[in-house]
Each structure stands twice: as C-alpha cells, then as structure tokens.
C-alpha cells in the first residue's frame, strides 16, 4: 500500500520492450493481484518520486482482505488497463517462496 509518493507500473509488450501500464499514488494497493490469483508478478513497479509503502505478507493480506477478495476478482474481470495487462501476463505459475509484497524504493536521481 503506497503511503507516500508515486509509482509507475512497467510491463513488457509481446516483443519484450518496456510498456507503461499505469501509475499509482497514495492509498493505492500494488501487487494484490499476485496474492489473489497466486501468480508471479506480471510487471515491475518503479518509483516516480520518493516512496514509502506498507508491506503485507500473504497471511495478513488474507486476514484483511478475505471478505473482499470476490469483489477484487470481479473488478479484475472488468475492462481496466491495469487488469487487462495483468490478465495477459499472468501465464507463469507463482513461485511459492515469494510470500510477501515488498515496496521500499526511491526515485532514480
């Protein structure tokens, strides 16, 4: 969860070239789709400014978000550029050793 700052999500096109998918800011959640669908990350998150973020491991995510997982899944099925990219990129099974989302980053200067 982004507490301060802004990030951009960078995916890859069919040829493997970087593709800007979207941007997120304060209050936005990043990486929740990997927890919901149990997949590896589908894109990279790059800081646009200095960023502070809260980290949730899978267990805490499920405790906090369990009741809304169905809503998130439904939203992921609707037309949305974030979810569209994710759905096209989530082909690789998740590495079970990746049990938490970590976002501590600074913008490149």
Q: Domains of the chain: which residue ranges? A: 2-89
Asked if the model's pLDDT at residue 49 lies above 90, the reply is yes
Q: What is the pLDDT of residues 70-101, one digit of tens each?
A: 666 666 665 666 666 666 665 544 444 434 44
Element at 99 (helix H, strand E):
none
Place of tokens 């501590």: 104
Q: What is the pLDDT of residues 2-13, one digit of tens each?
A: 999 999 999 988
Q: What would be the CATH architecture of the domain defined by 2-89?
A: Sandwich (2.60)
DSSP 28-70: ---SHHHHHHTB--SSEEEESS-BEE---BHHHHHHHHGGGHH
């Amino acid at each position: 969860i982004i507490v301060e700052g802004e990030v951009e999500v960078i995916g890859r096109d069919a040829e493997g070239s970087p593709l800007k998918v979207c941007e997120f800011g304060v209050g936005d959640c990043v990486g929740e789709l990997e927890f919901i669908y149990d997949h590896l990350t589908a894109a990279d998150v790059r800081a646009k400014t200095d960023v502070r973020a809260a980290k949730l491991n899978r267990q805490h995510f499920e405790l906090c978000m369990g009741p809304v997982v169905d809503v998130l899944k439904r939203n992921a099925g609707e037309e949305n550029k974030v979810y569209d990219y994710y759905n096209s990129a989530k082909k690789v099974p998740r590495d079970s050793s990746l049990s938490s989302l970590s976002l501590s980053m600074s913008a490149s200067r």
